[in-house]
């Protein structure tokens, strides 16, 4: 069934400011593309209820399970995820029917007094709930104090304005979507500071067989890039909270993928980069380039760094 044949399309979302902003953008784009009327359905996830730091709460499915349950139960027709939060294993009843054009994939430092990562003083306290960002901070600036935090964007930024922390690291895409780029004091280069696979991209998920509801929003180049990033994460058998960064781009007929695996203490990092032609009439370029990168990383000992297994 197409979106235009329905009187209203119910779109499931988390209730955070960022999730509502992201889903609202999808709803507007879907209405523009298909003429359908949309309705947002707010759903509370385990990630919203838990007070545990993300590094200990278990990242895989933390923010997605309740949304998927609501979609399967018929409480909504479509759900919207931050793609970096979505487990890499395929779901037997649901499918990612659209991945819109990606927003800025970089991490952003939000620090007091306009400080950058290079100018933060020794001993400065920097907050993040991401093991990958923790490892990168320890690798780049071992003289900083890395503080494990969680909470929504406003909560994290409030720790800086209150003086509890000197800085926090957040996803640039999220800050752009809620109109808070004014708090960014340093954008971290995605080539030297690779981010979570899929960061900056949204995933629009539907029940299998109902892909036409949102297919109009799919962006082919973004899909190729993020599928490559997520596939290398899956092949490394690492969860979405593992200290793995990846960056893929489509440029001049090539799909280029680079991935980096860190030890949690930041002392060791392994990197692999490969490219393949894209698009291709046959084959699966994202899977192929990810297989080359993952094989090289595993041969170099990446499995001993992530410390994760399914």
Instruction: Please give the positions annotated as active site.
Output: 85
CB within 8 A of 69, min separation 6: which ones?
none
Q: Are 52 and 120 in contact (CB under 8 A)?
A: no
Do the Cβ atoms of 23 and 11 come closer than 8 Å? yes
The rounded distance, in Å, linking the Cα atoms of 150 and 51 is 8
Task: Report d(CA 95, CA 204) in Å as an integer.
Answer: 8
| Separation between Cα atoms, residue 129 and residue 150, nearest integer Å | 5
Closest by CA position to 134, among listed 297, 270, 264, 295: 264
Q: What six digits make up the tokens of 159?
A: 């720790």
Q: Nearest-5° angle of CA 56, CA 138, CA 235?
A: 60
Q: How far is CA 260 from the centre of its chain?
A: 16
Q: How far apart, in whole angstroms, are the C-alpha atoms of residue 287 and residue 282?
A: 12
* Cβ-proximal residues to 114 (8 Å cutoff; 6+ apart), any chain: 185
Looking only at the bridges linking them, the beta strands covering 145-148 and 269-277 are: unpaired
């Amino acid at each position: 069934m197409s979106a235009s044949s329905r009187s209203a399309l119910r779109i499931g979302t988390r209730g955070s400011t960022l999730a509502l902003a992201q889903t609202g953008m999808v709803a507007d784009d879907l209405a523009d593309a298909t003429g359908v009327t949309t309705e947002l359905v707010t759903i509370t996830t385990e990630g919203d209820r838990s007070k545990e730091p993300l590094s200990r709460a278990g990242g895989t499915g933390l923010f997605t399970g309740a949304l998927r349950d609501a979609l399967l139960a018929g409480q909504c027709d479509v759900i919207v995820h931050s793609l970096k939060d979505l487990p890499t294993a395929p779901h037997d009843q649901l499918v990612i029917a659209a991945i819109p054009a990606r927003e800025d994939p970089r991490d952003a430092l939000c620090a007091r007094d306009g400080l950058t990562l290079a100018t933060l003083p020794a001993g400065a306290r920097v907050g993040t709930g991401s093991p990958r960002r923790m490892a990168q901070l320890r690798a780049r600036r071992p003289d900083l104090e890395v503080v494990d935090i969680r909470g929504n964007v406003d909560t994290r930024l409030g720790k800086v304005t209150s003086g509890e922390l000197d800085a926090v690291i957040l996803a640039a895409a999220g800050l752009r979507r809620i109109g808070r780029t004014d708090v960014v004091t340093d954008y971290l280069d995605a080539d030297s500071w690779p981010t979570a696979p899929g960061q900056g991209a949204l995933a629009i998920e539907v029940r299998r067989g109902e892909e036409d509801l949102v297919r109009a929003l799919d962006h082919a180049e973004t899909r190729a890039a993020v599928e490559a990033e997520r596939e290398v994460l899956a092949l490394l058998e690492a969860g979405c909270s593992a200290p793995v960064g990846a960056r893929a781009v489509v440029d001049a007929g090539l799909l280029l993928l680079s991935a980096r695996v860190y030890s949690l203490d930041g002392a060791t990092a392994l990197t692999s980069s490969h490219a393949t032609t894209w698009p291709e009439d046959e084959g699966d370029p994202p899977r192929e380039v990810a297989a080359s990168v993952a094989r090289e990383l595993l041969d170099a000992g990446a499995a001993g760094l992530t410390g994760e297994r399914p």
